[in-house]
């Protein structure tokens, strides 16, 4: 058993591969591939896990996933409860800078693009202020073939490397190589169980049972392979969900958000929220309500 190793179907005629998914929900397994990946979310919401980094995703988000970086776009639970065709849609672009694009990236004019691609190993998220223009390039890449597709891809990379600022790193100092193939499915089971039961009181015994380890062995295992404790990971999943509910106004009070996302009291919720987000829940609400007015 291992992390699912994707083999991207590289064609004989193209160096830039496009996959346009229209599915009831996104691919549901932790996986990785040799190619770098650029993803535009068109429809669907959920949680992105890249290495040991977690955050929510929503339509309009653009992510760059590094080569061999374990990742999963886990759709929210309601996508599985009532599957609907085309409920999840994304355009994925796959490239391998070390093979088919290697010669192109060696020419002097491509130096800036090469530096950008060389620095995406931990994953990146494009700031929202640039995604509308980038989406135009991504849709053009998807629509074109041959030289026109390659030209549109170079335009996207020039935009990303020369004009986009404030990229958000998806790296927390965790090396993707820390996940060996033989451990991948165990981590996949842990991630899935956590994302499906985060609103419950998950004990260390429960999650250790999921991984078929003793509590002591599980704690050492999880810390070794994610550089964080399981409680820290669980709290990040809970806070990500709390942020989604706050932004969508799906709550009656902060206390209601806290209890619905698995916290036993608002004091702990407020403390963890500030640690993960960098501001209190109240400040977070004020900040985003102010943004929505503009």
Per-residue pLDDT band for 3 (boundaries 50, 70, 90) equals very low
Spell out the SS3 assignment of 252-285: CCHHHHHHHCCCCCHHHHHHHHHHHHCCCHHHHH
Instruction: Please indicate, yes or no, whether residues 280 and 143 belong to a single structural domain of this protein.
Output: no
Q: Are 52 and 226 in contact (CB under 8 A)?
A: yes
The per-residue pLDDT for range 11-48, each reduced to its tens digit, is 556 899 999 999 999 988 888 888 999 999 999 999 99
- Report the candidate in 74, 284, 252, 190 with the shortest Cα–Cα distance to residue 260: 252
What confidence score (pLDDT) does residue 122 get? 85
Q: Given 115, 148, 169, which residue is the final one in a domain? A: 169
- Which has more pLDDT, 292 or 28? 28
88 and 43 Cβ atoms separated by less than 8 Å: yes
Residue 111: how many other CB atoms lie within 10 Å: 12
Looking at the structure, tell me whether residues 30 and 156 fall in a common domain: yes
Q: What share of the chain is helix, strand, coil (3-state, %, to 5)?
A: 50, 15, 35
Average pLDDT in the chain: 88
7 has pLDDT over 70: no
132 phi and psi, to 5 degrees?
Answer: -65, -45
31 near 6, Cβ under 8 Å? yes
Average pLDDT over residues 100-106: 94
Task: Verify that 9 and 111 share a domain, yes or no.
Answer: yes
- Please give the pLDDT value at position 226: 83
Q: Are residues 63 and 110 in the same domain?
A: yes
Residue-range definition of the domain harbouring residue 33: 4-169
Instruction: State whether 22 and 105 are in the same domain.
Output: yes
Q: Per the structure, how many domains does the chain have?
A: 2
Residues 64 and 141 in one domain: yes
Whole-number Å distance between alpha carbons of 196 and 65: 24
Whichever domain contains 225, its CATH number is: 1.10.10.60
Same domain, 222 and 276: yes
Any domain includes 185: no
Q: What's the CATH code of the domain at 115?
A: 2.60.120.280
Residues 6+ apart with CB under 8 A from 170: 48, 50, 51, 53, 55, 63, 65, 122, 123, 124, 125
pLDDT band at 161 (very low <50, low <70, confident <90, very high): very high
Tell me the per-residue pLDDT of 209-219, one tens digit each, with 9 for 90 and over.
Answer: 999 999 999 99
- pLDDT value of position 91: 97
């Amino acid at each position: 058993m291992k992390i699912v190793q994707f083999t991207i179907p590289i064609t004989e005629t193209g160096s830039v591969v496009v996959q346009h998914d229209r599915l009831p929900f996104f691919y549901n397994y932790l996986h990785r591939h040799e190619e770098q990946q650029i993803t535009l979310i068109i429809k669907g919401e959920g949680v992105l896990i890249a290495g040991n980094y977690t955050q929510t995703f929503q339509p309009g988000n653009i992510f760059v996933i590094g080569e061999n970086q374990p990742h999963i776009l886990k759709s929210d639970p309601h996508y599985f409860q009532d599957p609907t065709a085309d409920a999840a849609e994304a355009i994925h672009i796959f490239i391998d800078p070390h093979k088919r694009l290697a010669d192109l990236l060696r020419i002097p004019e491509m130096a800036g693009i090469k530096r950008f691609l060389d620095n995406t190993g931990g994953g990146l998220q494009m700031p929202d202020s640039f995604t509308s223009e980038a989406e135009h390039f991504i849709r053009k890449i998807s629509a074109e073939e041959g030289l026109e597709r390659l030209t549109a891809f170079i335009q996207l990379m020039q935009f990303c490397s020369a004009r986009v600022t404030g990229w958000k790193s998806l790296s927390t100092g965790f090396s993707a190589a820390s996940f060996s193939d033989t451990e991948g499915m165990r981590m996949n089971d842990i991630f899935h169980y956590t994302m499906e039961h985060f609103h419950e009181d998950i004990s260390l015994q429960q999650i250790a049972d999921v991984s078929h380890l003793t509590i002591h062995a599980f704690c050492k295992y999880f810390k070794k392979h994610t550089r964080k404790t399981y409680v820290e990971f669980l709290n990040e999943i809970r806070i990500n969900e709390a942020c989604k509910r706050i932004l969508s106004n799906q709550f009656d009070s902060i206390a209601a958000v806290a209890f619905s996302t698995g916290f036993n009291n608002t004091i702990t919720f407020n403390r963890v929220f500030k640690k993960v987000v960098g501001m209190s829940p109240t400040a977070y609400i004020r900040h985003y309500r102010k943004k929505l007015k503009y």
